[in-house]
Structure 1
Amino acid sequence: MEAYGGGRFIGDYSVVRRLGTGGMGAVYLCRTRAGQRLAVKVVREELAEDPLIRRRFMREVDALRTVHSPYTVPVYDARTSGPVLWLATRYLDGPTLSTRVQEYGPLSPAEVARLGVMLAEALATVHGRGIVHRDIKPTNIILEDDEPRLIDFGIARSVAASGLTLPGTALGTPGYMAPEQLDCREPTDAVDVFALGAVLAFTSTGRPPFGTGRTALQRMMDRSPPDLGGIPPLLAALIASCLAQSPGARPTLRKVTRVLTDIIAAADRRAAHRAGLPTEPVAHPAHRCQVPTASGACAVRPAAERVLAAGLTHDLIRKAVLRDDR
């Protein structure tokens, strides 16, 4: 068991090993007394003494406690006062999106679209709580059973909050930061839409659309267009709109979801066609009702239609809920 700060516990949780380190601190795999695994993020001791860092950390905890989505990770426990600051969440036993793409290559357009729909839903929930994440990127997305989990709200900003960023300080990651973040302007929901577009581009091609590091910063400052080569036209057009220089020109998350859903539906139709399956609804013979209501309508048909929509065949429904005349 790896020791932390001279001991083997963080709060009441035993340390198993260190998972990784970053600019703010380190993340440890820990266990509760009952054996449940937790990811515990600990702020570096020298940073924990900074009042601004403390307020930012408290904001991250508050954000995670406020947002409830299948695609975020709930807070298990936290310490926001005292010399050591830490945050415990459920441990996610999966790779980051960055690792997944690096090891296995880009996703198919349909897979990218499905991932994008789930991320858009997560962001809609986050934005609905008045929070802007500000650091959406592949390393902040963990895949669990092929579903994304959005993590690291360390620089998230409440729309109602003010004074938690030093003047002239750009927060975010080069290659995924919107132009207004580079200009240190007030962030809005649109910065997350920009980052979502960059994430979808990376997932489609294996490369960030503006590059990384200094190259990305220079291309952004030069207002260079993103590299979307190799992405199918409909998906590329959506991503390009997300990466618009002007925040007002970027689509809403509702529109992003609508376009991605159309891409998924088209891919499903093509797959059905290749498999020789019908791509249009099949008409069934007229139903002769055996259980009429007082008005003469079929009492069973609404339930049967719901079961049919759930995936059972028409013949199975007839056998299950319709009785022949005796």
Structure 2
Amino acid sequence: MGVATGKESARAAKPRRQVGPYTLITALDDAHTRIPVPERRYIARSSDGQRTVLLSLPHSGRDPQRFLAEAEASRYLLGSCSAPATAVAGPGEPAWYASPYLPVLPLPTALAVHGGPLPERTVRALGAALAETLAVLHGQGLTFAGVSPAAVLLAADRPRLSCYGAVRAAAPDGTARSGLTGLEAGSLPPEQASGGRPRPLGDVYALGATLAYAATRYTTPERDELPTALREIIARCLSRDPGARPQLAEVIASLCGDAGREGGSGSLLGPGWLPGRVIAALAHQSAAVLTAEISVEAPSVSPSSPVSHPD
């Protein structure tokens, strides 16, 4: 797995790599899932040992200024599932941004830990919570432009949406984005794949692809592969015609059902919303990160060079 493991304790005495003021502990993402990740993500700690963060770097070859512009813009995101940057690289520094650490698993890693698609209740809770947050962002006049399986982080209390602006950071409007590093093809709305400007209904498409992945392990499954109770709403989200996609309020109502008319996603995010194996993996990660030690002096690493699990 890409999350911190018990091997970290054995590696504690070795110097680790550093980005800006942070020393890397471990990679967040599991390469074995083979799901594209819009940015390179790590769990890291400040050199004084006082702050643990989720640290993101751009892929090699990406424009660092576009990456930093989206990171800076994320500071203004609202919504309970938003994960805005709280620290961004300064002038003259290699590009990076950070947000406070909490135990999380990327959605692809959660499926690997669980051993297959997630239960219907989990998918419903996930979708409703993300849809509510997207509705808040759209109310701010923003388009997330980066919803995908890897962008979704599962925490014990609720999901978080990371990788804000990944589509905009990958290439400017008018430039075809199909096949670009880090963008999951099935989650990329057709109108954005061809270089179109990201718009709110594109977020609805990407949300549908992400829920399809959570329910089937595929972002573009056949209609009859989707769970019967979720089939219609997810299939509508995945319409190639933006005008045929549902509004987020309809998505929320469909996923929450009668139980959520008053409480929204809160009615689904109570104890048991995540499978036991995922909860156990979150606890394991938390313990491993807590006990990981770092050396105060660490060699620096350029974000333009690949970084694997720090040795």
TM-score band w.r.t. shorter chain: 0.5 to 0.7
Q: Go from structure 1 to structure 2 and tell me whether the alpha carbon gap of 1:128 and 1:18 turns closer, same or farther (over 3 Å shift).
A: same
User: Which residue of structure 2 aligns with residue 319 of structure 1?
Assistant: none
Distance in structure 1 (CA, Å) of the matches to 2:38 and 2:256? 37
Q: Aligned pair 1:181/2:192, yes or no?
A: yes
Distance in structure 2 (CA, Å) of the matches to 1:193 and 1:151? 16
Which blocks of at least 5 consecutive residues in structure 2 are unaligned?
A: 1-13, 262-311
**Residue 176 of structure 1: how far off its partner (Å):** 1.3
User: Which residue of structure 1 aligns with residue 55 of structure 2?
Assistant: 40
User: Which residue of structure 1 aligns with residue 140 of structure 2?
Assistant: 129
Output the aligned Cα RMSD.
2.9
Q: Go from structure 1 to structure 2 and tell me whether the alpha carbon gap of 1:201 and 1:94 turns closer, same or farther (over 3 Å shift).
A: same
> Alignment partner of 2:110: what SS?
helix
Contact 1:110 1:264 survives alignment (8 Å): no
User: Which residue of structure 1 aligns with residue 300 of structure 2?
Assistant: none
Give the number of the structure with larger relative contact order, counting CA–CA contacts within 8 Å between residues 6 or more apart: 2
User: Which residue of structure 2 aligns with residue 65 of structure 1?
Assistant: 75
Distance in structure 2 (CA, Å) of the matches to 1:12 and 1:38? 11
Distance in structure 1 (CA, Å) of the matches to 2:209 and 2:111? 14
Contact 2:173 2:197 survives alignment (8 Å): no
Distance in structure 2 (CA, Å) of the matches to 1:265 and 1:69? 18
Contact 2:127 2:252 survives alignment (8 Å): yes
Contact 2:104 2:155 survives alignment (8 Å): yes
Q: 25, 35, 42: which one pairs with 1:28? A: 42
Q: Aligned pair 1:227/2:238, yes or no?
A: no
**Residue 153 of structure 1: how far off its partner (Å):** 1.7
> Alignment partner of 2:185: what SS?
coil
Q: Aligned pair 1:194/2:202, yes or no?
A: no
User: Which residue of structure 2 aligns with residue 243 of structure 1?
Assistant: 238
Per-residue Cα deviation, 1:141-180 (whole angstroms, up to 9, x for no partner): 111005211111242549xxxx934633446421112221
Which blocks of at least 5 consecutive residues in structure 1 are unaligned?
A: 211-225, 267-326
Q: Go from structure 1 to structure 2 and tell me whether the alpha carbon gap of 1:180 and 1:37 turns closer, same or farther (over 3 Å shift).
A: same
Contact 1:16 1:28 survives alignment (8 Å): yes
Q: 164, 171, 183: which one pairs with 2:172? A: 164
User: Which residue of structure 1 aligns with residue 111 of structure 2?
Assistant: 101
Q: Go from structure 1 to structure 2 and tell me whether the alpha carbon gap of 1:2 and 1:244 turns closer, same or farther (over 3 Å shift).
A: farther
Contact 2:87 2:97 survives alignment (8 Å): yes
Count of aligned residue pairs for this structure pair? 237
Q: Go from structure 1 to structure 2 and tell me whether the alpha carbon gap of 1:25 and 1:82 turns closer, same or farther (over 3 Å shift).
A: farther
User: Which residue of structure 2 aligns with residue 56 of structure 1?
Assistant: 66
Q: Go from structure 1 to structure 2 and tell me whether the alpha carbon gap of 1:102 and 1:10 turns closer, same or farther (over 3 Å shift).
A: closer
**Residue 84 of structure 1: how far off its partner (Å):** 1.0
Larger radius of gyration: 1
Q: Go from structure 1 to structure 2 and tell me whether the alpha carbon gap of 1:228 and 1:119 turns closer, same or farther (over 3 Å shift).
A: farther
> Alignment partner of 1:31: what SS?
strand
TM-score by length of 1: 0.63
Runs of 4+ in 1 over 6 A off after TM superposition: 21-25
